[in-house]
Amino acid sequence: MGLKQDFVLRRLEDQGRFLARLILGKDEAHYELPEYEAMDNRADALYRKLLALVDNGEINEAENILLDELDTGDLNMFEIALCFYLYLAHLDEDFLEEHRYTREEIGEGMEALVEDFGVSGFEISMGK
C-alpha cells in the first residue's frame, strides 16, 4: 500500500474511532456477529449479507441495500453502517478500483451516515 493510501486508511480509521466515541459512546466500532448464522437476528443477517456482497465485488449493491435498510433511530444500525465503511476502507486499493469504488466514496459514505444520524458539519478530509 502506498504512502497516500496508508494516510487515507489511517484517516478513515481515526474518523471511525471518533464517530464511535461521539455517537456510540465506545472506543471503536465493532459489530460482533454470532458464531452461527442460525443465531442471527435481522441486523446480523443484514451485516452478513453486506459483507458477502462486498467480498463478491458487489460493493455498490451492498451500499444501496445498506442505505435502503438504514434506520436512523437505531444506533445498532449506525454501528453496522460504520463497520461496513471501515470494512471497505481495509480492502485492497486494486480490489476497490476493479469494482468501481474509491476510498473517497468511503469517506463520503461516512459523512452521509453521520448526517443521517443528525450530526451536522462533519467532514472527512482525504488529504488531497
Torsion on CA atoms 98, 102, 103, 109, rounded to nearest 10: -130
The pLDDT of residue 126 is 54
Per-residue pLDDT band at 4 (split at 50, 70, 90): low
Contact present, 85 and 113 (Cβ < 8 Å):
yes
Number of helices followed by number of strands (H, E) in the chain: 6, 0
Interval 13-60: pLDDT, tens: 999 999 999 899 999 999 999 999 999 999 999 999 999 999 999 999
27/20 Cα distance (integer angstroms):
6
Q: For residue 118, is pLDDT > 80?
A: yes
Per-residue pLDDT band at 6 (split at 50, 70, 90): confident
DSSP labels, 54-90: HHTT-HHHHHHHHHHH--TT-HHHHHHHHHHHHHHHT
Closest CA to 109 of 86, 77, 76: 86
Q: For residue 120, is pLDDT > 90?
A: no
Where do the structural domains in the chain lie, given as residue ranges?
A: 3-116
The pLDDT of residue 7 is 83
